Amino acid sequence: MGVTASEVFEYLCQERAFLIERHEISSALFSELRRGVWQILLRIREQDDPTSREVADQLGAHLSEWLTVPIPFDQSMSESLCSLGTPEVVQGRWGLDVRSLYETAIAAAQAVQSQGNLLRSELREIIGHLKSTSLSFRIFCHTRAQFYFESLFEHTLSNEFPFLHSVKDYRESSPFDVLIKVGPLRSRGWGSTPDALITAPRFSRLLQVVWSGCADEQGFGYDPCAAQRSGSSGAKTQALQNQIISWTHEIIRSGDLGPSSDTYPSDLDELTQLNQHAHASEVRAATLIQVSDGFGILYPPHSQVPTFDANVPSDHSIGYRLPGDTLAKGMFVIWPLLGDADLGKLRAGEGHFSTIWKERLRNAMLHNPEDLLRRLSVAGIELVNLYSCVKHWCKPASTVIHAPQQRRHFEILIQTLGITHEVSTASRTLRRPWWQYAWIEIAQTRGEAIQTGVQEHEIIDEQLFLILMEYLPDIRRSAAAGSDFSFTIPTGKTLKGIVFFYPALSVEEGFRAPDTSLKQLCELDTLEQWRA
Amino acid sequence: MEFSESSRSWSAIPDWASFLIRLGIRVGQVDPGCRRIYLVSMPCESAAAGVIALGALLHRLSLKDSNDSSSHLARLRSLASENEPEVFLVHEVHGSGFRPEFKNGILWGRRDPIGNKSMTRIAILPNNSAQWRVNGEPAVHALSGSEIRFQSLYDHLSAGISEAFPSNYSLSDSGVCLAGRVAGESISRSVYSAIRFRNGCGHTDLSSLLTVHAWSPGTISRLTYFNSRTGQFDRQTGLTRVVIADGDTAFLRVLDVPDFRTCDILGVIQKTIDRGSLEAVGVKLADLAQWYAADDERTENLGAVPRGVTISSLRRR
């Protein structure tokens, strides 16, 4: 226990006033960019093809990042937009009006670079001022946003004061004076923060730096106790009023007004709009477990995840744990790649099929990439960045086999490469086309079910746990380094295969993803799109 | 009376702990005709559930008939009827290995022959039933030396609010159940151990004062423990009146346990958890609102609610 309950109560009793100081930044140039990107997003989201929706999701992610992270306004903004292709490609795909918006947005993205990010300037001033006082302060942000706060100054901020990245960090924090937060107060998604900032403050002053138009989430500061009481009586009783911590609000507006206006531009609340859209889609809540520098797994609520905890006695070290509940940072996620009876002798070794098709793909890219890309495109792979995607698929397998996300795309790729069963091996045992076996191999590394039915999974897990318990001393030795490792199941056991142990680097709530993206080992950049 | 948390220096019992003890005493006053459900939301990680359970335990100590003795024989009869193969009885003189059984309308403790020892059969009667206990559970009454310890601490803690009935210090009671954290029993125990009390006569920690059988095996037990992680009870007497659940998950699980369907339930959650978990509790409370009405009466007159704590109380319509 980092901070005791007595310390928290002592602090809460002393503090009489709690203040939210909202610094609202406006920029006519940035508003233009926001409007442009938003309009493009709205138009292409209406398209019926998955590629357009994918692009719309990417644009939504860019917008969300710009609005909640103090990134520098530099060339990378234009580059992220230009990934849609040339104006001609955009027009060909989505029409003339989108092309027009696209060109305006790119121009705006280049224009804001000359102005710089006004939010960063404000933030630099605020933090600089706080550093000159004796006030203790913290910054609440996502782990990946810390870099941008640190880049405000020449030296690393974390040496002077800690960042808070999660509800757990906040829970363990001792009281301090000021909390800095970029972006609106939201319970989920980009820039999300715990409701406890409002309902259980450890600080008396919240310095919130936001872009204009970004409203705090309605109902932020949720407490089921207070919600039940106010809901049941229709109005907050005096007793409840006394229990709830009240905040005073102060708004400070700054920024530029634009060339032809004497008022701040009126901006749309894109984050709220995106959130509403995400809720409307067929997705469900998920928790992200980051298992290495670039990879993570999304689990639906109440998932029983096979895990290994080196810090508990033998009997309980291997078992199911709940992400965010009993599964915590520092434990290992058990990720088995077990032999499948259906694959039989075909599965000569790990990555047997991927070795073949990747080799063929690399050769094709080496000798005549334009021709390959053209043939893939004609055959029906309509990815915007096809060249980058194919380069990515060429990469050697790491924790997963890099391959198309869609089964249909993979089928086209293999057919275009012209890979089929060799005549000598295409015996009666090969009932399916070559690409299907290769796809199963990819699916296995992504963690898709190798057996159908939950019950069968449980039986397999039980057997697996028994085997692992048998070799617990070896596993403990391997785990001592704290990094990922693998364990090959010795021959003669009821199961065969290899078991990977990935250390849980972080456990993060706040994702909403379709079923097809759950329980799969994916790159973090891919999973970011499902941040709710 | 002094208090210490996480090995910090000793001081007077802080307001938040005093309030929670008073709340526990109030919650322990169960109204048999009307089930209540309480939710206490804390501003931080704490041993609040343990402190409230201690308050409820203090209230039970002040009641004349709050012990398992009167219903003990009925329970042994019930165990004999169920004929569970894992259930064994322990006699305070003749030892363990007895199975409860009915023969000729009489309840017996029967131990099968072992080695050169012949079969032993002892009648279990109203006047000697207290000599028997279920294996793995505390005795219903104390043998010499196994009375509840730190009696003066209980007296100090309840001074001016309730007064312990002396004989209760040597009788087990199952009226209050503590449903520990879903993270596990050892975690729960370590959290409660961080809270310590002392007076001129001695000092101990909260986990000892709660008298959970597994944590203080040498004494009678005045509180049962429900493991929210495994769903197991440390003893299942059917006499539980009020359940104190530690954490949002424990609270939600306890509400669905059939053995607790008539008990009053108090859940302690902390505000410093993710939105999804808070909403799960909120949704459950909204569901309950069909059959329960808000009820501030029970939590009034306990003194000022510490800043940062919110309490909700529901009463069966």
- How far apart CA B218 and CA B213 sit, in angstroms, is 8
Nearest CA in chain A to B12: A6
Judge contact between A430 and A420, C-beta under 8 A.
no
Residue B275 touches partner A, C-beta closer than 8 Å: yes
Nearest CA in chain A to B37: A225
- Is A159 among the domain residues? yes
CA proximity to B311, closest of B252, B271, B280, B260 = B271
> What distance in Å separates the CA atoms of residue A414 and residue A440, rounded to the nearest whole number?
14
Q: How many residues does chain B have?
A: 317
The number of helices, as runs of H, and strands, as runs of E, in chain A is 22, 15
The answer to whether the beta carbons of residues B161 and B25 sit under 8 Å apart is yes
What pLDDT is recorded for position A263?
58
Answer whether A323's CB lies under 8 Å from A411's CB: no
Most confident stretch, A294-298, A516-520, B62-66, B195-199 = B195-199
For residue A211, tell me if it sits in a domain.
yes
Between chain A and chain B, how many beta carbons pairs sit less than 8 Å apart?
151
| Selection from A132, A210, A137 nearest residue A178 by Cα | A137
Residue A487 or A352, more confident: A487
Average pLDDT, rounded, for chain A:
82
A222 contacts in B (CB within 8 Å)? Answer: 275, 278-279, 282
CA B253 to chain centre: 17
Q: Domain containing B156: what range? A: 2-68+141-316
Cβ-contact A123, A71 below 8 angstroms:
no
**B78 and B200 assigned to the same domain:** no
Q: Are residues A515 and A461 in the same domain?
A: yes
| Residue A409 scores a pLDDT above 90 | no
Mean pLDDT of A512-527: 79
C-alpha angle with apex B306: B301 to B312, nearest 5 degrees? 65
Query: What is the structure's pLDDT at B264?
Result: 96
- For A179, the domain range is 5-25+118-255
pLDDT-wise least confident of A60-64, A219-223, A520-524, B148-152: A520-524
Chain A interface includes B41 (CB < 8 A): yes
Local confidence band at A345 (pLDDT 50, 70, 90 cut-offs): very low
B92, B114, B134: which is the final residue of a domain?
B134
Are B298 and B221 part of one and the same domain? Answer: yes
Q: Which residue has the higher pLDDT, A89 or B226?
A: B226
Residue A262 lies in a domain: no
Strands of A497-503's sheet in order across: A318-321, A305-308, A332-338, A497-503, A485-488
Judge residue A464's burial from the number of C-beta atoms within 10 Å of its C-beta, 0-12 exposed, 13-18 middle, 19 or more buried. Answer: buried
Task: Give every CB contact of residue A45 below 8 A, 6+ residues apart in sequence.
Answer: A52, A53, A56, A277
Same structural domain, B154 and B130: no
What's the rounded Cα separation, in Å, for the pair B49 and B245? 7
A240 — contact with chain B (CB < 8 Å)?
A: yes
**Pair (B122, B218) in one structural domain:** no
Residue tagged 């310590």 (tokens): B196
Q: For residues A203 and A181, what is the distance between their CA atoms, to the nearest angstrom? A: 13
A1:B45 CB<8 A: yes
Distance, CA of A111 to CA of A103 (rounded, Å)? 12
| CATH code at position A243 | 3.40.50
pLDDT at A342: 38
Summarize pLDDT for A12-31 with one digit per residue, the tens: 988 678 999 999 999 988 99
Q: Give pLDDT, residue A428.
A: 43
Q: A81 in a domain, yes or no?
A: yes
A327 and A370 share one domain: no
Distance CA B226, CA B223 (A): 10
Cα–Cα nearest to B100, from B109, B91, B92: B109
d(CA B259, CA A108): 65
Cα(A232)–Cα(A226) distance, integer angstroms: 10
A265 burial level (CB within 10 Å; 0-12, 13-18, 19+): buried
Q: Are residues A84 and A195 part of one domain?
A: no
Residue of A nearest to B313 (CA): A229
Q: What is the pLDDT of residue B300?
A: 74
Virtual torsion, Cα B281, B286, B288, B291, nearest 10 deg = 170
Q: In this structure, are A102 and A248 located in the same domain?
A: no
Q: How close does chain B come to A467, measured CA to CA in Å?
A: 23
Question: How close A13 gets to chain B, by Cα (Å)?
Answer: 6
Beta bridge partners of A485: A501
Separation of alpha carbons A406 and A514, rounded Å: 14
B165 and B257 in one domain? yes
Q: How many domains does chain A have?
A: 4
Sheet harboring B120-123: ordered strands across? B120-123, B106-111, B95-103, B89-91, B132-134
Task: Please state, in angstroms and as integers, the Cα–Cα distance from residue B213 to each residue in A321, B154, B221, B286, following that order.
Answer: 27, 17, 6, 36
Which chain A residue lies closest to B42 (C-alpha atoms)? A200
Strands B120-123 and B132-134: unpaired
pLDDT of A137 > 80? The answer is yes
Residues B48 and B193 in one domain: yes
Q: What is the pTM of this model?
A: 0.70
Task: List B303's β-bridge partners, or say none.
Answer: none
> In this structure, how many other beta carbons lie within 10 angstroms of the beta carbon of residue A507?
20
pLDDT of residue A93: 81
pLDDT tens track, chain B, 317 positions: 999 999 899 999 999 999 999 999 999 999 888 999 999 999 999 999 999 999 999 999 999 878 887 788 888 888 888 877 788 899 888 888 899 988 888 888 998 887 777 888 898 887 788 888 888 888 877 666 678 888 999 999 988 888 888 888 988 999 999 999 999 999 999 999 999 999 988 899 999 999 999 998 888 899 999 999 999 999 888 889 999 999 999 999 999 999 999 999 999 999 999 998 999 999 999 888 888 888 877 777 777 889 999 999 999 98
> Rounded to an integer, what distance in angstroms lies between the CA atom of residue B69 and that of residue B60?
14
- Beta carbons of B44 and A227 less than 8 Å apart: no
Domain boundary among B112, B134, B156: B134
Crossing angle of the two packed helices A454-470 and A472-479, in degrees rounded to 10? 90
Same domain, A19 and A138: yes
Contact B294 A243 (CB under 8 A): no
Contact map slice: A 255-284 vs B, CB within 8 A: none
Are residues B267 and B216 both part of a single domain? yes
Together in a domain, B129 and B260: no
In this structure, the strands spanning B176-179 and A521-523 are unpaired
Report chain A residues whose CB lies below 8 A from the CB of B249. 325
Answer for the pair A1, A187: CB distance below 8 angstroms, yes or no.
no
- CA dist B252 and B268 (Å) reads 11
> Which pLDDT belongs to residue A9?
94
The pLDDT value given to residue B144: 60
Do A353 and A329 fall into the same domain? no
Query: Whole-angstrom Cα distance, residue A171 to residue B272?
Result: 6
Same domain for A331 and A372, yes or no, is: no
How confident is the model at residue A424, as a pLDDT?
52
CB A150 within 8 A of CB A71: no
Interface of B with A in 181-240 (CB under 8 A): 182-184, 191, 194, 229
Nearest-by-CA chain B residue for A327: B183
Residue A148 exposure: Cα atoms within 13 Å on the Cβ side: 22
The residues pairing with A186 across neighbouring beta strands, listed in sequence order, are: A192
Check if the beta carbon of residue B283 is closer than 8 Å to that of residue A228. Answer: no
Edge-to-edge strand ranges of the sheet holding A506-513: A506-513, A284-290, A295-299, A521-523
Cβ distance B102 to B108 under 8 Å?
yes
**Residue type for position A357:** W
* Domain count within chain B: 2
On whether any CB of chain A is under 8 Å from the CB of B42, the answer is yes
Task: Verify whether the Cβ–Cβ distance B273 to A167 is below 8 Å.
Answer: yes
Q: Are residues A124 and A95 in the same domain?
A: no
Do A520 and A299 meet the contact criterion of CB atoms below 8 Å apart? no
What are the tokens at A90? 């955009």
Instruction: Tell me whether residue A455 is in a domain.
Output: yes
**Structural domain contains residue A260:** no
Test mutation, A225, A275, A303, A316, chain B, max B CBs within 10 A: A225
| Among candidate residues B82, B101, B134, the one where a domain is terminated | B134
Nearest CA distance, B161 vs chain A (angstrom): 23
Give yes or no: residues B161 and B198 share one domain.
Answer: yes
Contact of A241 with chain B, judged by CB distance below 8 Å, is answered with no
Strand pairing partners for B264?
B242
Say if residue B114 is in the same domain as residue B79. yes
- A362 & A415 share domain: yes
Q: Strands A332-338, A497-503: parallel, antiparallel or unpaired by DSSP?
A: antiparallel
* Residues B1 and B157: beta-carbon distance below 8 Å: yes
Q: What is the pLDDT of residue A451?
A: 34
Does B286 sit within 8 Å of A228, measured CB to CB? Answer: yes
A309 in the same domain as A298 = yes
Q: Is residue A237 located within the same domain as residue A367?
A: no
Same domain, A212 and A315: no
Indicate yes or no: CB of B43 within 8 angstroms of CB of A8: yes
